[in-house]
Structure 1
Amino acid sequence: YLLNGEKLFTGNGPVADLVAVSATVLGEGGPKVGACFLDTSTPGFSVGTRLEFMGSRGLPNASLHFDDVLVPADQVLIDPESDQLPFLVGMVALLGRIYFTGAPAMAIARNSLAWSREFIARRSIDGRALGDYDEIQRTVTATLADVYAMESAVRWSLLGSGLTDRWFERFATKNLLVRGAWRIVDRTVSLHGGEGFETVASKNRRGAVPVPLERAFRDARGLRIAGNVDFQLDNQLGRILLGQYYADARTYADDGTQGEPGPGAGTSAAGLSPANQEHARAIDRLVGELRRFAVGLVRRHPDPEQLYAKERTVVLLGRIAGELFNAVAALARAAAAGTPAEAVPAGHQELADVHCAEARHTLSGLFARLEPDAEPDHAHISRRWLADGGADQLVRH
């Protein structure tokens, strides 16, 4: 194969000895997407403009150029049955995304937790320890629960599973981790007040504790677009979910089930506190509600593309699926606490309770937005504004 073109935003691209490149492969059966693996010493390969991000200073990145780069056939993977990347390549990319973006997100979250504790320990307001204030206590428990939920999603997705296992959960986990890190670092910046937005250099000049929150803030935001922007991943996850319902559409009963017990009947609350038992039952009911809603959508839209064009609905379905998975993962981890299979610290039940209480509020809002009573005409408003030249015409209308 001869490879021609340019690839942007390649992590470690400027320093790599081996790169993987997805490319459109033309053939008699139409265009396909192939995965090409090549040595960067191959003639025709060159590194173009080096990119500089807001944050992520330790990530070399650049545009890569390919000018008649010869790639041997045994270094190109193409799925003969599909026009998409081969399944195993996708699974490798899916797993890699958790390490590439999820690991730094976990580091930011855990660092922020440590920085929060250190800051609260050394501060007092009006002669009262900062940690004695109600809002500060709620901020602390929110961060603790977010870290716990993020860890639970990672454990579920990675421990004891092969390359092709738990791929749906792995797909959801990337957004759960990067959004969790963003919430946590944003919360920590607020907790630190002016110190949170101040650079390390500035803190050093005045002798303050050099916590690098400003850097973590930028890094966390960048992770939400690394490996695809977060709302588009929700869109893709929603399509995957609906695609499964389209595949199974003929087998559903009128209530959206496939002959299995109704919502609530399959929930196991063993090992959970009373509060978490209630969360488990509520989450199970919401899983059933999501299933019935998705089945109804599939039945009303025989053409999948017609449904996929309703992007906000598909995005919301992806968000809901991710939130439900994270709540289940947190509850499962709490239920396993203290068993020989997992040596865990005290506080499992409490942290799962905090996370699930907040998750249920989030899910309630997401479900409500799935079927709004009325909506503004976003298409008309945006088209008129764009056609009239933008912000300078806003007041006139």
Structure 2
Amino acid sequence: MPAERMLPTPEAEDLIALTREIVTKELAPRAAPAEEAAAFPREVFRLLGRAGLLGLPYPEEHGGGGQPYEVYLQVLEEIASVWASVAVGVSVHTLACYPLSAFGDDEQKKQLPDLLGGELLGGYALSEAQAGSDAGALTTRAVRDGEGYRVTGSKAWITHGGEADFYVLFARTSDEGGRGISCFLIEGQLEGLSFGPPERKMGLTGSTTAQLHFDDVAVPAGWRLGAEGQGFPIALSALDSGRLGIAACAVGLAQGALDHAVTYATQREQFGRPIIANQGLSFLLADMAAAVESARAMYLEAARRKDAGLPFSRQASIAKLVATDAAMKVTTDAVQVLGGYGYTRDFPVERYMREAKVMQIFEGTNQIQRMVIGRHLAKAAGH
């Protein structure tokens, strides 16, 4: 059964209805074959873009949808309930547009309609092989060269690596630790920019993840977003919103697994009755439903704080932690509900289970989220 939603406006209700129609008619039939073939669904992102779903939380004057984060995240959840790779891709694209929207100057922001219009797809180039959770330790360097910069180094674990039309790049412009990092918006195809082969992942096989290699790549100074050395605060502020995106994806994944489990349990009969009539199984499904709805409530609380202009960093970390742990548990239990069938590729729950694992890892591992939450608690207590 679809998730029950309390939406703030009739426009938001129409948006969810449109998303469900696209998800049912366009995404659901393509998801399993694309994941099986590890095929990047570029045309699906164009479809979503033309429907206005790639720029929902950005201002209408810049080509966005003008929707609050509360609504955008629920659209993301609807997509993830059928195809997590695409939902994660939408989240990453939205994340990649944030630095330009929040920190670009008036001239730079003229590019926003192109980025949000649906024909272009973004990537977020922050992580490196030795600088994942410790983003301040990155080594990719942008050196001043006349009116621009020359970039050398490598980025790792980049969603849409080699597929994106543009990337937000974080590179070191001085040796001052976190204060020596700057942010750039770069084109996806530049002389000296190359890409590693796609990573061979456990799940999200329809989402290309690859390394980016910069070999003395020329980047004009006008492509820098914000001041030189402002990159680390830009990255951190973007990640709070990105964590909410992953929380919504995780809840959608869990909702999809729950839906399949309930459908199976009502149709599968043993000893003359549906297996959902067995208390042991019905209690398992009840716990799954409680986990999904609790996680949804958490990310919506964080999103409403963001929409109200209130601090939401701690709530974003809690939402990401709770939602992704819930997704791992719910998808595992969905496989159990389906028994032997759940372990086969004839049903999507085994794929959902594989996809749930990475939700606990990217956008900051859940161990990092606990550190962030703990620091907020210590700060609130005056330590």
Matched, 1:103 2:251: no
Secondary structure of 2:232's counterpart equals coil
Q: Structure 1 unaligned runs (5+)? A: 201-210, 250-297, 299-397
Other-structure match for 1:260: none
Other-structure match for 2:335: 189
- Contact 1:25-1:31 at 8 Å conserved across structures: no
Question: What is the CA–CA distance in structure 2 between the aligned matches of 1:95 and 1:28, rounded to whole Å?
Answer: 26
| Structure 1 residue 106: Cα displacement | 2.1
| Structure 1 residue 83: Cα displacement | 7.9
* Cα RMSD (Å): 2.5
Deviations 1:11-43 (A, max 9, x none): 012111111122222158996222222112332
Bigger relative contact order, structure 1 or 2 (CA pairs below 8 A, ≥6 apart): 2
Matched, 1:170 2:316: yes
| Structure 1 residue 181: Cα displacement | 0.8
Other-structure match for 1:90: 236
- Contact 1:105-1:223 at 8 Å conserved across structures: yes
Q: Which residue among 158, 161, 175 is the counterpart of 1:10? A: 158
User: What is the aligned residue count?
Assistant: 234
Question: What is the CA–CA distance in structure 2 between the aligned matches of 1:119 and 1:181, rounded to whole Å?
Answer: 19
Q: Which runs of 4+ in 1 moved over 4 A?
A: 27-31, 77-80
Go from structure 1 to structure 2 and tell me whether the alpha carbon gap of 1:241 and 1:127 turns closer, same or farther (over 3 Å shift): same
| Structure 1 residue 172: Cα displacement | 1.9
- Contact 1:5-1:66 at 8 Å conserved across structures: yes
Deviations 1:199-232 (A, max 9, x none): 22xxxxxxxxxx2111111011122112232222
Deviations 1:311-367 (A, max 9, x none): xxxxxxxxxxxxxxxxxxxxxxxxxxxxxxxxxxxxxxxxxxxxxxxxxxxxxxxxx
Q: Which residue among 125, 133, 136 is the counterpart of 2:270? A: 125
Go from structure 1 to structure 2 and tell me whether the alpha carbon gap of 1:164 and 1:45 turns closer, same or farther (over 3 Å shift): farther
Query: Which residues of 2 match residues 2-151 of structure 1 at below 5 A?
Result: 2-26=150-174, 32-77=180-225, 85-86=232-233, 88-99=234-245, 101-151=246-296
Question: What is the CA–CA distance in structure 2 between the aligned matches of 1:195 and 1:29, rounded to whole Å?
Answer: 51
Question: What is the CA–CA distance in structure 2 between the aligned matches of 1:95 and 1:129, rounded to whole Å?
Answer: 42
Matched, 1:199 2:335: no
Question: What is the CA–CA distance in structure 2 between the aligned matches of 1:5 and 1:114, rounded to whole Å?
Answer: 45
Q: Structure 2 unaligned runs (5+)? A: 1-148
- Contact 2:244-2:316 at 8 Å conserved across structures: yes
| Structure 1 residue 183: Cα displacement | 0.9
| Structure 1 residue 196: Cα displacement | 1.1
| Structure 1 residue 78: Cα displacement | 6.1
Question: What is the CA–CA distance in structure 1 between the aligned matches of 2:223 and 2:321, rounded to whole Å?
Answer: 31
| Structure 1 residue 148: Cα displacement | 0.9
| Structure 1 residue 113: Cα displacement | 1.6
Question: What is the CA–CA distance in structure 2 between the aligned matches of 1:235 and 1:167, rounded to whole Å?
Answer: 12
Secondary structure of 2:162's counterpart equals helix
Other-structure match for 2:297: 152
Go from structure 1 to structure 2 and tell me whether the alpha carbon gap of 1:232 and 1:89 turns closer, same or farther (over 3 Å shift): closer
Q: Which residue among 191, 204, 216 is the counterpart of 2:352? A: 216
Give the aligned residue type for 2:219: V
- Contact 1:175-1:224 at 8 Å conserved across structures: yes
| Structure 1 residue 144: Cα displacement | 1.3
- Contact 1:91-1:164 at 8 Å conserved across structures: no
Give the aligned residue type for 2:306: S
Other-structure match for 1:363: none
Question: What is the CA–CA distance in structure 1 between the aligned matches of 2:157 and 2:335, rounded to whole Å?
Answer: 28
Give the aligned residue type for 1:154: Y
Other-structure match for 1:336: none
Other-structure match for 2:16: none
| Structure 1 residue 126: Cα displacement | 2.6
- Identity, in percent, stands at 23
Give the aligned residue type for 2:366: D
Give the aligned residue type for 1:228: G
Go from structure 1 to structure 2 and tell me whether the alpha carbon gap of 1:79 and 1:141 turns closer, same or farther (over 3 Å shift): farther
Deviations 1:136-188 (A, max 9, x none): 12112111111111211121122373477422211221122111111111111
Other-structure match for 1:233: 369
Give the aligned residue type for 2:240: L
| Structure 1 residue 2: Cα displacement | 2.1
Secondary structure of 1:50's counterpart equals coil
Question: What is the CA–CA distance in structure 2 between the aligned matches of 1:192 and 1:125, rounded to whole Å?
Answer: 13
Question: What is the CA–CA distance in structure 2 between the aligned matches of 1:229 and 1:29, rounded to whole Å?
Answer: 22
| Structure 1 residue 75: Cα displacement | 2.8
Between structure 1 and structure 2, the one with the greater Rg is 1
Other-structure match for 2:36: none
- Contact 1:50-1:62 at 8 Å conserved across structures: yes
